[in-house]
Structure 1
Amino acid sequence: MRVFMAVYPPAEVREHFKRVVDGLAVARPRERSVRLAAPERWHLTVAFIGDVDDEVAATEALEELASVPAPVVRIAGGRTLGRGQFKHLVAELETEDDGVGLRRLGAAVRKALRRHRLPFDRRGWQPHVTIARPGNLVGDEELAVDLEVLAAYRGPAWRLDEVRLMRSHLGPQPEYDVLAAVHLQ
């Protein structure tokens, strides 16, 4: 079972941001479609755990997060990750505390995963929301304009107060199931 921990923006945040995304070059129809993430699937991956035999240890690790203070965040800015056919366009997150709350959450997640001997991506956590996977289908000039639009965007703030343990089903349109959830302080 392939699992990860994630936070989903509330509906009003997604609706506000969707108006911006709909105007981006990555959202325009093309000969070959860009893999655009659907607004209901926009999420912030807190930790990618990967394949596990059952979700008990992951659920227990998730439950340890209940004492972590919930940071206040907003979608603000954007960048690309990866190169060539693996290029992603992502939105960044901004906090009222210069990222302290997000770093605290990230550290607590990794500590809980280590304690339960669960695998996770040990590279530095880069909080973001994936918008699209344009790869080579969108030119650098168009992406530069999209990045300018995202740089000017400051969405509504929200309390990042629930972390979910998700199961992913891979494919052209990935599907996600909620296995468990915990509310932060």
Structure 2
Amino acid sequence: MRVFAAIRPSPQALEHLDSALEEVRGSAGLSLRWGDPEQWHLTLAFHPDLPEGAIPETFENLAHAAAHHAPMTLQLSGAGMFGARTLWIGVGGDTPQLTALMGEELLGGEDRERRRAHLTVARVSARAPRAPRRRRGERRPPDPSQLLLSSAVHALSVYRGPSWSAEELELLSSHLGQGRSGGPRHEVLGTVPLGGS
């Protein structure tokens, strides 16, 4: 089972981001597949293959870690990309506290390569243009997907959303291909309070 530990931004923060993405969506056309704002979350840790039987213990571990970290004030801020496939929005605010929380073993065996708090907003779609074939002796042509994502990251680099108080963590499972436009559908398995209150 694909499992995430996440913080859900406030409805106002998500609405603000959704509005801020309008121009980038228009520029990208069908080359990017946009996530469903109702499914957006700030990913803290990801476990790509957690056995279903391990969910109760994982939930207990997440609750234990959350109890030792106070609520924090966060804001969606800036942007980046993973490879030439995924566009994400970063986070600002109480980042030292967030970094300390992410230093915990939140899920056990999670993918630590992408240990950066992020909110995935889009992925390169199957309709995106492909790089033309390189002819012998020629330089590799630019990858249109890389250029598209670089342009989106540049446009969103100055983005700063409204602050909100993060007071709980969510444990979510991800079901690929079951969401809007063939994207993932996220199911909340449970929530735990920060600070143990």
TM class, shorter-chain normalised? Answer: 0.7 to 0.9
Aligned residue pairs, count:
172
Determine the structure 1 residue equivalent to 2:138: none
Contact 1:27 1:36 in 2 (8 A): no
Residues 51, 75 of structure 1: alpha-carbon distance in 2 compared, 3 angstrom cutoff: same
Q: CA deviation at 1:10?
A: 1.1
Distance in 1 separating the partners of 2:192 and 2:62: 7
Contact 2:44 2:118 in 1 (8 A): no
Runs of 4+, deviation exceeding 4 Å: 25-28
Determine the structure 2 residue equivalent to 1:159: 165
Determine the structure 2 residue equivalent to 1:22: 22
Distance in 1 separating the partners of 2:26 and 2:193: 34
Contact 1:14 1:39 in 2 (8 A): yes
Could you list the per-position Cα deviations for residues 129-154 of structure 1 after superposition, in whole angstroms to 9, with x for gaps in the alignment? 11111268274554444223211211
After superposition, the CA RMSD in angstroms is 2.2
Q: CA deviation at 1:5?
A: 1.0
Contact 2:28 2:148 in 1 (8 A): no
Question: SS state of the match for residue 157, structure 2?
Answer: helix
Structure whose alpha-carbon radius of gyration is higher = 2
The within-5 A match list for 1:142-181 is: 142-171=148-177, 172-181=182-191
Residues 15, 25 of structure 1: alpha-carbon distance in 2 compared, 3 angstrom cutoff: closer
**Residue 45 of structure 1: which of 39, 43, 46 is its match?**
43
Contact 1:26 1:36 in 2 (8 A): no
Distance in 2 separating the partners of 1:17 and 1:134: 19
Contact 1:26 1:34 in 2 (8 A): no
Would you say 1:134 and 2:144 are equivalent positions?
no
- The normalised TM-score by structure 1 is 0.82
Unaligned runs of 5+ in 2: 130-143
Would you say 1:103 and 2:72 are equivalent positions?
no
Q: Which moved more, 1:125-134 or 1:62-71?
A: 62-71
Determine the structure 1 residue equivalent to 2:89: 91
Determine the structure 2 residue equivalent to 1:2: 2
Question: SS state of the match for residue 98, structure 2?
Answer: helix
Could you list the per-position Cα deviations for residues 92-124 of structure 1 after superposition, in whole angstroms to 9, with x for gaps in the alignment? 11124xx2111111123x1x54xxxx3211336
The within-5 A match list for 1:26-37 is: 28-30=28-30, 34-37=32-35
Distance in 1 separating the partners of 2:26 and 2:57: 38
Determine the structure 2 residue equivalent to 1:60: 60
Distance in 1 separating the partners of 2:69 and 2:98: 10
Question: SS state of the match for residue 188, structure 2?
Answer: strand
* Aligned residue type for 1:91: I
Residues 181, 27 of structure 1: alpha-carbon distance in 2 compared, 3 angstrom cutoff: farther
The percent identity for this pair of structures is: 30
